[in-house]
Every structure is written in C-alpha cells, then in structure tokens.
C-alpha cells in the first residue's frame, strides 16, 4: 500500500506558547493567547488539552471532525495526558508511542535543535522519563533511532490497521 493510499492527515494543534524560529501559524500550530485558549476550554472545544511548561497545548474537536468527515485518517501528535483524555472519549483509534533510544539521546536532540534553554531541556527530559512509564498503555511502540526505520514501522502499523477494516 502506497503512502497516499493511507489517506493520512496530521492534525494541527493549538498552543498558547509563542512560535519558535521558523514555525508558522496554522501550519505548525494554531498560536493563540492563553486567554483565548482558556475560553475554548470553557466552551468545551478541545478533544484533549494539557498545560505544561507554563503553556497550553490542545486538539480542537472541530479540526479533527472536519478531517474525519473528509475521509482522512487523522494523526494526533499528543502527550500522554492527551492520550488518556482521548481514550475516555473516542472508541475507534490506534495509539502509537514513539520513543527515543535513551534519555541521553533525547537530550542530544534537544540540544542540537537549539530551541530550548537549559532549564526547559531539564524539564522536558523529566517529563519524557515520566511519560516513558506509560508506554505499556499504548497499542504499538516505535523506536525513533532512525527516521527511515521509524517511518517504515509507522507505515506498516497504519497499513495493518487500515487492512483490518
């Protein structure tokens, strides 16, 4: 099965944080204010959301619904907390935990990215260690030590799930 036959769309999440260098509004995230985000929470507009590192992140119900109505298989890039919220609300989905070879390897990636200060990196590494404990709750696990191998594994998983019908 070819990739275009998988009908995949990555959902664009919302965040209250400022864009990093090179990020584009409505492409990488919907960048909104904390006040706007909080209003959307009150209006129950999120399928899932979380607050960490002083900022909100979330998945808008309407954007996911629109993709599904257009026949797309939707990819959500979410944290473990979001996964648990989705698990309570959505019956038909697959969960894939993508994990680094080690925390040290993740640290190297974050340092190379040059988008975080040292305090932020420490917090992210602590969060990653906590989230790794949740890996057993996911249907599939994909090691992200090689982009090509990780993409191949992800494609195989999605193809297998689509073929189940």
Residue that the structure tokens 């191949």 belong to: 152
Q: Are strands 73-75 and 96-99 parallel, antiparallel or unpaired?
A: unpaired
The CATH class given to the 1-82 domain equals alpha beta
- Please tell me the predicted confidence (pLDDT) of residue 3: 59
Q: What is the pLDDT of residue 114?
A: 82
Position 116 scores a pLDDT of 82
**Residue 98 DSSP code:** E
Per-residue confidence (pLDDT) for residue 113, from 0 to 100: 86
Choices 3.30.360.10, 3.40.50.300, 3.20.20.70, 3.40.50.970: CATH for 94-165: 3.40.50.300
Q: How far apart (Å, rounded) are the C-alpha atoms in residues 72 and 74?
A: 6
CA angle 23–153–122, rounded 5-degree value: 45
**Where are the chain's structural domains?**
1-82, 94-165
Measured at the CA of 3, the angle between CA 93 and CA 78, to 5 degrees, comes to: 40
What are the pLDDT tens digits along the chain (165 aa)? Answer: 455 778 999 999 999 999 998 999 999 999 999 999 999 999 999 999 999 889 999 999 999 999 999 999 999 999 999 999 999 999 889 999 999 999 999 999 999 988 888 898 999 899 999 999 999 999 999 999 999 999 999 999 999 998 886
Residues in CB range of 20: below 8 A, 6 or more apart: 115
Report pTM. Answer: 0.87
């Amino acid at each position: 099965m070819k990739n275009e036959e998988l009908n995949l769309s990555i959902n664009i999440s919302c965040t209250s944080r400022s864009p990093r260098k090179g990020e584009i509004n409505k492409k990488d995230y919907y960048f909104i204010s904390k006040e706007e985000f909080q209003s959307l929470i009150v209006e129950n507009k999120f399928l899932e959301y979380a607050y960490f590192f002083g900022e909100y992140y979330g998945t808008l119900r309407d954007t996911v619904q629109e993709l599904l109505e257009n026949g797309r298989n939707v990819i959500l890039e979410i944290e473990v907390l979001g996964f648990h919220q989705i698990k309570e609300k959505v019956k038909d989905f697959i969960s894939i935990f993508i994990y680094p070879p080690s925390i040290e390897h993740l640290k190297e990636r974050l340092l190379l990215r040059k988008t975080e200060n040292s305090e932020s990196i420490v917090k992210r590494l602590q969060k990653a260690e906590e989230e790794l404990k949740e890996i057993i709750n996911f249907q599939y696990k994909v090691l992200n030590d090689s982009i090509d191998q990780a993409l191949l594994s992800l494609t195989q998983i999605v193809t297998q799930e689509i073929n189940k019908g």
